[in-house]
């Protein structure tokens, strides 16, 4: 489906959901998530247990947390907030729309509707939005989407005359990337603490990165299998600028936009709002799901090893990479796992038991998990005691509150109980 689905999963939206339902039924574990007629919140006891709110809820624990539903959407894949505006959340729907939740209520008319330009289904669609740091004054924001031909476009839009509506006619394309396959599109655009725009690209899809002799991820002549770093404003006759300190500027045969490489499908990555450290959740092939971690100010030009390595498992004995960065966290596909969805280091002061912990999930298993990211290995992995099926993304608002997005429709906020 999207970047988080394992290569052997069905490739259509409906088939993915049906497969997930069969898997859940087979293991006899109905996920504790709300439905249209279900409870308004999900609750965890802070120690890995799980409770459901309502008449049969277990006694509240002192340090618990819960998920509060903020709305229901059509195949949501991303949620964020715009700098300078604490009253609105923006929810990205895969088919090509961005919805506004204003002061807790979903606005009927989409903020942006480009569904006529988007190919949606499988791992394709409108995949994320990033608002410029100066959005309050400039109105600029950026989207990553799959066009009607199946290729990736990074496009700038501007806010319209109303803060609830974008100017659809303001589109300005920054990047275009032809996609050899329909999967592993990457999909995230986000601004880093340095003010630059970071863009994630998968390795081009198929399986085992078989495009060319060394694949795409180890080829510095393509954006595929990389995270790019650019200045999104026009510069030097280009629709964007290239930071002078990008690691491959001036290197023959290398794309100067590349900042990190050797990635299979960096579907979601995030910067710690307090430290600026980065955590990249890279979707695995069949052996490992992984989180790569770099301290702020380190790791420019880091190679994370794919396709020679899948996590700490040797994937291609015939391909040698030198000094690649090993993951700080990884897990296998045992127990129903299939594809990692990366989140954020929690900095919400309302959640002391989770502060400083990185939250993540597996798309198929559905458990919300956390760990302390350290070098060389993460520590103290724990379950939050909450399960949400089909987690496509996490989000963070200006106050540091964390959100969980389910492809089945609901978007939740992580709250104290």
- 64 pLDDT band (50/70/90 cuts)? confident
Average pLDDT, stretch 252-261?
99
Per-residue confidence (pLDDT) for residue 14, from 0 to 100: 35
The 3-class SS string of the chain reads CCCCCCCCCCCCHHHHHHHHHHHHHHHCCCCCCCCCCCCCEEEECCCCCEEECCCCCCCCCCCCEEEEEEEECCCEEEEECCCCCCCEEEEEECCCEEEEEECCEECCCCCEECHHHECCECCECEEEEEECCCHHHHCEEEEEEEECCCCEEEEEEEECCCCCCEEEEEEEEEEEECCCCCCCCCCCEEECCCCCEEEECCCCCCCCCCCCCCCCCCCCCCCCCEEEEEECCCECCECCECCCCCCCCCCCCCCCCEEEECCCCCCEEEECCCCCCEEEEECCCCCCEEEEEECCCCCCCCECCCCCEECCEECCCCCCCCCCCCCCEEECCHHHCCCEEEEEECCCCCCCCCCCCEEEEECCCCEEEEEECCCCCCEEEEEEEEECCCEEEEEECCCCCEEEEECCCEEEEEEEC
pLDDT value, residue 47 = 36
**What's the confidence (pLDDT) of residue 16?**
41
Residue 195 CB neighbour total at 10 angstroms? 12
- The answer as to whether 371 is a domain residue is no
In this predicted structure, the answer to whether residue 34 has a pLDDT above a threshold of 90 is: no
CATH number of the CATH domain containing 177 = 2.120.10.30
Q: Is residue 134 part of a domain?
A: yes
Residue with token string 């379950």: 383
Structural domains in the chain (count): 1
Conformation bin of residue 186: beta by default, left when phi > 0, alpha when psi is -120 to 50: left
Does 125 reside within a domain? Answer: yes
Residue with tokens 């995949």: 127
Structure tokens at 367: 């458990």
Over residues 189-204, the mean pLDDT reads: 98
The average pLDDT across 70-99 equals: 98
**What sign for the dihedral angle of Cα 242, 245, 248, 249?**
positive
Whether residue 94 is predicted with pLDDT greater than 80 in this model: the reply is: yes
- Specify if 195 maps to a domain: yes
405 forms bridges with which residues in the sheet? Answer: 393, 411
| Residue 381 counted as domain residue | no
Predicted confidence (pLDDT) per residue in 101-137, tens digit: 999 999 999 999 999 999 999 899 999 999 999 999 9
Whether 144 has a pLDDT exceeding 80, the answer reads yes
Mean pLDDT of the chain: 88
| Residues near 380 by beta carbon (within 8 Å), at least 6 away in sequence | 357, 371, 372
Interval 182-195 mean pLDDT: 94
- Could you tell me the residue range of the domain that residue 217 belongs to? 13-21+71-341+391-416
Cis peptide before 234 (omega within 30 of 0): no
pLDDT, mean of residues 319-347: 96
Q: From CA 352, how far away is CA 135, in angstroms rounded?
A: 31
Task: Report the predicted TM-score, pTM, of the whole model to 2 decimal places.
Answer: 0.88
pLDDT digits (tens, 9 = 90+) for 213-236: 999 999 999 999 999 999 999 999
Mean pLDDT calculated for residue range 324-344: 97
Contacts of 195 (CB under 8 A, 6+ apart): 133
pLDDT digits (tens, 9 = 90+) for 39-58: 345 555 343 433 333 222 22
Average pLDDT over residues 292-309: 97
For range 343-369, the mean pLDDT: 97
Question: Residue 42: inside a domain, yes or no?
Answer: no
Task: Give the model's pLDDT for residue 238.
Answer: 94
Is residue 106 one of the residues assigned to a domain?
yes
The position carrying tokens 């949501």 is: 76
Residue 352 CB neighbour total at 10 angstroms: 12
Strand-strand pairing, 258-261 and 226-230: antiparallel
Taking CA atoms, 274 is separated from 24, 174, 226, 359, 371, in Å, by 37, 29, 25, 15, 17
Within a domain: residue 329? yes
Closest of 78, 121, 84 to residue 98, by C-alpha? 78
The confidence score (pLDDT) of residue 2 equals 53
pLDDT of residue 183: 86
Q: Whose structure tokens read 């992580």?
A: 414
- Residue 281 near residue 266, CB atoms below 8 Å: yes
Q: Quick one: tokens of 67?
A: 């998920």
With a pLDDT cut of 90, the percent of the chain lying above it is 80
Query: What is the structure's pLDDT at 396?
Result: 99
């Amino acid at each position: 489906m999207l970047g988080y689905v394992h290569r052997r999963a069905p490739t259509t939206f409906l088939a993915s959901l049906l497969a997930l339902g069969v898997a859940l039924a087979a293991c006899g574990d109905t996920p504790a998530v709300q439905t249209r007629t279900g409870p308004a919140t999900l609750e965890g006891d802070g120690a890995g247990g799980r409770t459901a709110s309502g008449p049969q809820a277990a006694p509240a624990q002192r340090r618990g947390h819960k998920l509060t539903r903020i709305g229901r959407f059509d195949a949501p894949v991303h949620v964020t907030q715009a700098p300078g505006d604490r009253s609105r959340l923006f929810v990205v729907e895969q088919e090509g729309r961005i919805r506004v939740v204003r002061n807790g209520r979903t606005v009927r008319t989409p903020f942006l509707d480009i569904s006529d330009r988007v190919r949606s289904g499988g791992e394709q669609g409108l995949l994320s939005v990033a608002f410029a740091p100066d959005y309050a004054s400039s109105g600029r924001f950026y989207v990553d989407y799959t066009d009607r031909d199946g290729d990736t476009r990074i496009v700038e839009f501007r806010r319209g005359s109303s803060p609830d509506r974008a100017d659809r006619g303001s589109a300005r394309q920054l990047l275009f990337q032809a996609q050899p396959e329909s999967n592993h599109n990457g999909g995230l655009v986000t601004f880093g603490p340095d003010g630059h725009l970071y863009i994630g690209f998968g390795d081009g899809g198929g399986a085992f990165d078989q495009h060319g002799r060394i694949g795409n991820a180890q080829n510095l002549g393509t954006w595929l299998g990389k995270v790019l770093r650019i200045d999104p404003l026009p510069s030097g006759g280009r629709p964007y600028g290239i930071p002078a300190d990008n690691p491959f500027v001036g290197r023959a045969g290398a794309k100067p936009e590349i900042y990190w490489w050797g990635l299979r499908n960096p579907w979601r990555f995030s910067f710690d709002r307090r430290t600026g450290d980065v955590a990249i959740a890279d979707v695995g092939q069949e052996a490992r799901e992984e989180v790569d971690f770099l301290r702020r100010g380190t790791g420019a030009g880091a190679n994370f090893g794919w396709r020679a390595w899948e996590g700490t498992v040797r994937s291609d004995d015939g391909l040698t990479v030198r000094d690649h960065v090993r993951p700080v966290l990884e897990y296998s596909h045992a127990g129903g796992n299939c594809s990692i969805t990366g989140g954020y280091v929690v900095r919400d002061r309302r959640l002391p038991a989770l502060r400083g912990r990185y939250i993540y999930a597996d798309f198929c298993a559905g458990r919300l998990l956390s760990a302390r990211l350290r070098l060389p290995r993460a520590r103290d992995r724990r379950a939050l005691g909450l399960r949400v099926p089909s987690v496509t993304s996490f989000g963070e608002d200006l106050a540091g509150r964390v959100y969980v997005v389910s492809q089945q429709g609901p978007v939740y906020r992580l709250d104290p109980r």
